[in-house]
Amino acid sequence: MSDTTATPTSAPADVTPASTQPTPAQLTPAQAKAEADAARAAGDELAAIKAESRKWEAQAKANSAAAARLAELEEAAKSDEQKRAEAAEAQAKELAETRAERDALKAEKQVAAWKAEVSTETGVPAVALAGSTREEIEAHAATLKPLITPSEPVKKAALGPYVPDEGTQPTKPLGGPAQAFADALGPIFS
């Protein structure tokens, strides 16, 4: 293995080194136009066409950068406006929900007050009353009142098993076979 150093080859005469020739991104449209005019004046049509191409490329990139910046600014402004609009919309929605909740609580409180008033007037328990207006509550109370307060007195037997004189001693003898049986067992248990 020999230590040979590669010698750099020289660039062809018609190609300028990359460091001395600005790229289209580095050229301004005015610089590119001046380069194209200089190439035309020198009579080099190929260089003039390339310079003209670089001019339009530089112009397009400048326009593209300006358009991107404009779009960015519009988006930033639009976002601020949208944020304000969304915040206002959220506040309006929250306000509407709060008002609806307040109105519902007011209505619930009013209905409870009407039920209490009708209950004291009719004797029907307030928890048994239904309706959302005073008229509906009064109509429901009128329907329930006969069911709650019967027109005839309730017989005790109608309430369930009934033992007359429960808890007292019989005053008269039973009589019949039951009395005979009790009399027969009496001396055994006395």
What residue segments make up the domains of the chain, in order of their start? 29-149
**Are the beta carbons of 61 and 22 closer than 8 angstroms?**
no
**Are the beta carbons of 136 and 124 closer than 8 angstroms?**
no
Q: Is 162 left (phi over 0), alpha (psi -120 to 50) or beta?
A: beta
pTM, two decimals, is: 0.38
Which pLDDT score, from 0 to 100, does residue 19 have? 43
Distance of alpha carbon 44 from alpha carbon 37, whole angstroms: 10
**Are the beta carbons of 105 and 97 closer than 8 angstroms?**
no
Residue type at position 61: K
Cα Dmax for the chain: 157
Which pLDDT score, from 0 to 100, does residue 41 have? 80
Q: Is 58 exposed, middle or buried (0-12, 13-18, 19+ CB in 10 A)?
A: buried
Residue 100 vs residue 44, higher pLDDT: 100
- Residue position matching structure tokens 């017989």: 155
**Are the beta carbons of 29 and 59 closer than 8 angstroms?**
yes
Mean pLDDT of 154-171: 67
pLDDT for 17 beyond 60: no
Nearest to 24 by CA among 45, 53, 65: 53
> Which of helix, strand or coil describes residue 35?
helix
Residue 30 makes CB contacts below 8 A (sequence gap 6+) with none
**Are the beta carbons of 125 and 142 closer than 8 angstroms?**
no
Give whichever of 99-108, 139-148, 179-188 has the largest mean pLDDT.
99-108
pLDDT for 49 beyond 70: yes
pLDDT for 14 beyond 60: no
